[in-house]
Amino acid sequence: MTLPKVELHLHLEGAAPPAFIRGLAQEKRIDISGIFAADGSYAYTDFWHFLKVYEAATSVLTSPEDYHRLTLAVLEESAKSGVVYCETFLSPDFCGGRDLSAWREYLHAIEEAGTQAERTMGVTLRGIVTPIRHFGPEKAKQVALCAAETAGRFVVGFGLAGDEKVGKPGDFAWSFDMAREAGLRLTCHAGEWLGPDSIRDALRDLRVERIGHGVRAIEDLALVDELAENGVVLEVCPGSNIALGIYPGWRKHPIGELHRRGVKVTVSTDDPPFFHTTMAREYDRLAEAFDWDEGVFREIARTSLDAAFCDPDTRARIAPLLEPDHA
């Protein structure tokens, strides 16, 4: 579908085209051939293996220049799908090993690629810094310091990625408090691998305004009502959930029901090549599964932009691009 789109949940390394990662591995003579299937796509068996494959793929990204190239390659795909505004998760764990001065260099390269893509491809990029949950709360504190030091026009948010089954959101409260005090807006993965209580925990203990995934709220209709009443935004990634086996197919995905019950749902790809998806494909499959028309998708794009963490001027510049009369 060619409608203008806003994407809020995208892991930068997870969006790396496999050919790009393979090319870098060859240049650097790093052997990661085991992470690819015969057809060249990424190969993994389940979410936990996916996290390992993800980290192996990321191991070939060793310089700010690599991240500059990666960012351009990723945004090229976004632009092809009609994305006009995108927020991406950035992990100082992978970009310079949580060292602040290295992080600044990586960030500068990513931001510069974003500026270039805005000029040449018409897609605006902003960053959400995320510690990796299974690396533990102590490392997350270093990540929070990196985030707080670089908060501003480009780094607009703070989140939590990685294995949802390790630890509790509350273990990361110190880091989220630091990020909030630095003016960053907050989101957290929850309600993907664990049930409704994980969403309640993230909302209560981290005071986040968006939830990454959050789809398993559907198992507790009182929570669904609460999310709708409080305007909590869900960064829903249906293709990711289906690829990882959380739901058996598009028609069985709860996004339709959550939307019908008044929850603010948005649509993203998570790690698109891993899940054999794109933003255009997500829209096409949703249109088929739920009979959603252009009006629903335009409403979702507006909801997404309202929930974006960018400054008001950026939002005001993007808003007209989402409207039908835009040339």
Q: Which of 189, 216, 259, 285 binds ligand HPA (CB under 6 A)?
A: 189
CA distances 10 to 165, 240, 269, 305, Å, are 20, 11, 6, 15
**C-alpha triplet 101, 105, 111: angle, nearest 5°:** 135
Residue number, 4 or 159, with CB nearest to ligand HPA: 159
Report angle CA 306, 107, 43 to the nearest 5 degrees.
85
Amino acid identity of residue 6, one-letter, is V
- Residue 216: name its binding partner from ligand HPA, Zn ion, none (Cβ under 5 to 8 Å by kind): none
189 φψ region: left (φ > 0), alpha (ψ -120 to 50), beta (else): beta
Cβ–Cβ < 8 Å for 18, 42: yes
- Count Cα atoms within 13 angstroms, Cβ side, for 209: 13
Is 270 among the residues that bind Zn ion (CB under 5 A)?
A: yes
Q: Which is nearer to ligand HPA, 271 or 282 (CB)?
A: 271
Residue 87, binding choice from ligand HPA, Zn ion, none, Cβ under 5 to 8 Å by partner class: none
Contact 87, 156 (CB under 8 A): yes
Closest contact distance (angstroms) between CB of 49 and ligand HPA is 12
Annotation marks residue 192 as catalytic? yes
User: What would the two tokens of residue 135 be?
Assistant: 């690396």
Q: Which of residues 130-159 bind ligand HPA (CB under 6 A)?
A: none
Q: What b/e sequence results for 26-62 when a residue is b if at least 16 CB atoms lie within 10 Å of its CB, and e otherwise? A: eeeeeebeebbeeeeebbbeebeebbebbebbbbbbe
Minimum distance from residue 278 beta carbon to ligand HPA (Å): 16
**Binds ligand HPA by CB under 6 A, chosen from 20, 42, 54, 158:** 54
* Interface with ligand HPA, residue 14, by CB under 6 A: yes
Q: Which two tokens stand for residue 103?
A: 């992080």
The rounded distance, in Å, linking the Cα atoms of 50 and 32 is 14
CB of 225 to ligand HPA, least distance (A): 26
Nearer to Zn ion, 64 or 192 (CB): 192
Q: Which does 96 bind (CB under 5 to 8 A by kind): ligand HPA, Zn ion, none?
A: none
CB of 85 to Zn ion, least distance (A): 18
Taking CB under 6 A as the criterion, the residue among 4, 7, 11, 242 binding ligand HPA is 11
Which is nearer to ligand HPA, 36 or 89 (by Cβ)? 89
Q: Lay out the site mask for ligand HPA across 59-78 (x = CB under 6 A, - = otherwise).
A: --------------------
Quick one: which of 216, 322, 234, 239 has its CA closest to 285? Answer: 239
The residue of the chain with the least Cβ separation from Zn ion equals 270
| DSSP code per residue over 164-221 | TTSS-GGGGHHHHHHHHHTT-EEEEEESSSS-HHHHHHHHHHH--SEEEE-GGGGG-H
The partner in contact with residue 238, picked from Zn ion, ligand HPA, none with C-beta cut-offs of 5 to 8 angstroms by kind, is none
User: Are the C-beta atoms of 26 and 220 separated by less than 8 Å?
Assistant: no
Residue 235 in the binding site for Zn ion (CB under 5 A) = no
Q: How far is the CB of 327 from Zn ion (least distance, A)?
A: 34
Q: Which does 84 bind (CB under 5 to 8 A by kind): ligand HPA, Zn ion, none?
A: none
Identified catalytic residue from 7, 77, 164, 192? 192
By annotation, the residues acting in catalysis are 192
Q: What is the contact surface with ligand HPA in residues (CB under 6 A)? A: 11, 14, 54, 161-162, 189, 270-271
